[in-house]
Amino acid sequence: MIDLDVRFQVRKEKMTEIGFERFLSPFSLELTKVADIRKLPPFSVVSSSDVELLREAAKSRNAVLLYNKGFQADVGLIRDLVGKKKAFEIPVAPLLESSGIARATLMTRMRFFIKQCVHLRAPIVITSQARDSFGLKSPHELIAIGEALGLTHEQAEWAISETPEMILHAAD
């Protein structure tokens, strides 16, 4: 099991203790313009609410995880990742940081986006996107959240094991 987006310095022992074999703290960038994409170092996580920027990022060798912040189910964007050694990031942090109607709305958007990704066979990776130790979630918790977002147990497990492995091998 691998968490591909931990956003703070955490000890390996802590991650092993909660059940992860590996974890990464990759370079992360909120895209604001196309020029940002050209400056990406290898193995970067990019995020944006702008579908066109994410489509451009999908063409970059260095962007390996794309976080569609609005979870817009743009079929063209989703198809752009099919067959590539990249994936859409499905972070749990935004769910944990929201509540009430905002969380319900976010979950609905995430569920529909994930459903489209599964239907079109675009790879997804469930990550903690933890900013501190309280945001860390065990593999079992990430799988349970994936199931709550409409994935089967096997699909959720795949999204924290096989898909991250594929991305790591492609980055080597």
The dihedral region occupied by 100, where left means phi > 0, alpha psi between -120 and 50, and beta the remainder, is left
Positive/negative CA dihedral, 105, 108, 112, 113 = positive
In the chain, the amino acid numbered 5 is: D
d(CA 76, CA 30) in angstroms, rounded, equals 21
pLDDT of residue 58: 94
How many domains is the chain built from? 1
Q: How far apart are CA 134 and CA 53, in angstroms?
A: 31
| Residue 103 confidence (pLDDT) | 96
- What is the value of pTM for the model shown? 0.91
How far is the CA of 159 from the CAs of 36, 104, 117, 130, in angstroms? 27, 22, 12, 17
Reported as a single tens digit per residue, the pLDDT across 72-101 is 999 999 999 998 889 999 999 999 999 999
Residue 52 sits in a domain whose CATH number is 3.20.20.140
Environment class of 79 (CB within 10 Å of its CB; exposed 0-12, middle 13-18, buried 19+): middle
Residue 59's domain spans which residues? 2-171
